[in-house]
């Protein structure tokens, strides 16, 4: 296992950092957050020219054919810049389509997705079964689907949805089809738009070209990408706190010289580096040791979900009163960290998953405690 990035991965990280820093300054982020779409076509075009939507789409399907670590490098920088963009949702849809799509579906959609000519998203959460895609009870009838999915990221403007159904099945629904309505939802994180999707006998194509292991691997990649994004969020919040602690003075001394503040900043570093190590270990496992990947992905998601929020909240405390004002940017990072912590399974869900994979089964659960297999539902997503 190599614990360092390769030269190519470092180049991707440097390019991503420079591009996002120049395109998504705080005032641009705020303007996009206040809009209905949350991104611009020009910004999406520039991002697509870098090949990011197709980072893990196979070369034969028109993508870059890179690995999970390269995706994590990009996602960490997206979190660091807090870039409002449908990249995560489109990459997630592409991962599921590449894993389980039929040859016709792959041929139709993966190339345009890789080029940024099409966008997709995934609709997993529903009120009855929570977020877990293998627990959904939604079925189709005569090739159509009637259902409601909530907390769907970037659904407005997406060309298609990948929707989880009963028995672990997934379906592709084009948003232009009759019976599909997309309604904006007020989200905790204004930099990533969420929507409720209503389907009323909408045409639904089954994704039947893959196996359950491939779908599980795709979901493990998705949750690890969110973990890496929270690493970037935490890194940026920590840097903001350290800079403020060096600059702000009390009693003619920088507040960072006081032990209570310096130890708080040191703890932030511990949290960020721990989350980074777990996330990139999960990325390595996704690329090189698939049998370990599900456990590694859930460990990374659980830890980074909590750590990102703790770091952002601690950074807020270092800033004192100014950190709580709307005019300061820090609250946006706090909200993204919290939203990421809940998306695609919160920390409790993923810790339960790690316990199951470690052999702590329902049979060994203490008397009176719920069986781990029943803990598929997380609290309602933030938003």
Beta bridge partners of 185: 194
Number of independent structural domains in the chain? 1
User: Is 80 exceeded by the pLDDT of residue 365?
Assistant: no
Q: What is the CA radius of gyration of the chain?
A: 21
| Structural domain contains residue 300 | yes
Residue 271 belongs to domain with CATH number: 1.20.140.10
311 close to 337: Cβ distance less than 8 angstroms: yes
Flag whether the pTM goes above 0.85: yes
Average of per-residue pLDDT values in the chain = 91
Q: Tell me what pLDDT residue 137 has.
A: 81
| Structural domain contains residue 310 | yes
286 close to 297: Cβ distance less than 8 angstroms: yes
Domain containing 287: what range? 212-374
| Structural domain contains residue 342 | yes
Q: Tell me what pLDDT residue 166 has.
A: 87
| Structural domain contains residue 77 | no
154 close to 193: Cβ distance less than 8 angstroms: yes
User: Is 80 exceeded by the pLDDT of residue 371?
Assistant: no
Q: Tell me what pLDDT residue 366 has.
A: 42
| Structural domain contains residue 183 | no
For residue 94, what are the contacts with CB-CB under 8 A and spacing of at least 6? Answer: 53, 54, 56, 57, 63, 110, 113, 114, 120
User: Is 70 exceeded by the pLDDT of residue 118?
Assistant: yes
In this predicted model, what pLDDT tens digit does every residue of 149-183 receive, in sequence order?
999 999 999 999 999 998 889 999 999 999 999 99
How buried is residue 144: exposed, middle or buried, by Cβ count under 10 Å (0-12/13-18/19+)?
Answer: middle
For residue 103, what are the contacts with CB-CB under 8 A and spacing of at least 6? Answer: 209
Give percent of the chain with pLDDT exceeding 70: 93
Write the DSSP assignment of 306-358 as a string of letters. Answer: HHHHHHHHHHHHHHGGGGGSTTSTHHHHHHHHHHHHHTTS-HHHHHHHHHHHT
For residue 86, what are the contacts with CB-CB under 8 A and spacing of at least 6? Answer: 38, 39, 44, 119, 121, 153, 154, 157, 158
| Structural domain contains residue 254 | yes
| Structural domain contains residue 184 | no
Q: What is the DSSP letter of 210?
A: S
Average pLDDT over residues 271-293: 97
| Structural domain contains residue 307 | yes
């Amino acid at each position: 296992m190599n614990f360092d990035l390769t030269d190519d991965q470092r180049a991707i990280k440097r390019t991503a950092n420079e591009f996002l820093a120049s395109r998504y300054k705080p005032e641009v982020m705020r303007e996009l957050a206040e809009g209905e779409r949350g991104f611009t076509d020009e910004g999406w075009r520039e991002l697509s020219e870098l090949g990011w939507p197709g980072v893990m789409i196979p070369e034969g399907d028109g993508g870059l054919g890179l690995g999970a670590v390269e995706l994590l490098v990009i996602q960490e920088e997206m979190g660091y810049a807090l870039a409002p963009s449908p990249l995560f949702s489109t990459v997630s849809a592409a991962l599921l389509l590449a894993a389980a799509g039929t040859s016709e579906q792959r041929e139709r959609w993966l190339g345009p997705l890789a080029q940024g000519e099409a966008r997709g998203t995934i609709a997993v959460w529903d009120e009855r079964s929570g977020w877990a895609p293998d627990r959904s009870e939604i079925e189709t009838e005569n090739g159509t689907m009637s259902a409601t999915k909530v907390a769907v990221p970037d659904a407005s403007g997406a060309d298609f949805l990948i929707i989880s159904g009963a028995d672990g099945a997934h379906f592709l629904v084009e948003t232009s089809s009759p019976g599909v309505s997309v309604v904006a939802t007020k989200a905790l994180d204004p930099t990533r738009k969420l929507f409720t999707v209503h389907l009323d006998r909408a045409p639904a194509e089954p994704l039947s070209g893959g196996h359950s292991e491939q779908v599980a691997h795709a979901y493990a990649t998705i949750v690890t990408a969110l973990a890496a994004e929270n690493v970037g969020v935490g890194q940026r919040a920590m840097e903001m706190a350290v800079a403020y602690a060096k600059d702000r003075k009390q009693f003619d001394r920088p507040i960072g010289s006081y032990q209570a503040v310096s130890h708080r900043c040191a703890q932030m570093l511990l949290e960020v580096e721990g989350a980074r190590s777990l996330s990139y270990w999960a990325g390595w496992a996704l690329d090189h040791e698939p049998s370990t990947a599900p456990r590694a992905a859930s460990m990374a998601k659980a830890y980074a979900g909590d750590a990102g929020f703790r770091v952002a909240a601690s950074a807020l405390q270092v800033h004192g009163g100014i950190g709580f004002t709307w005019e300061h940017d820090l609250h946006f990072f706090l909200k993204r960290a919290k939203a990421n912590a809940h998306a695609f399974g919160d920390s409790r869900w993923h810790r339960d998953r790690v316990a199951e994979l470690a052999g702590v089964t329902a049979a060994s659960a203490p008397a009176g405690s719920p069986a781990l297999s029943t803990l598929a539902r997380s609290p309602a997503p933030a938003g």
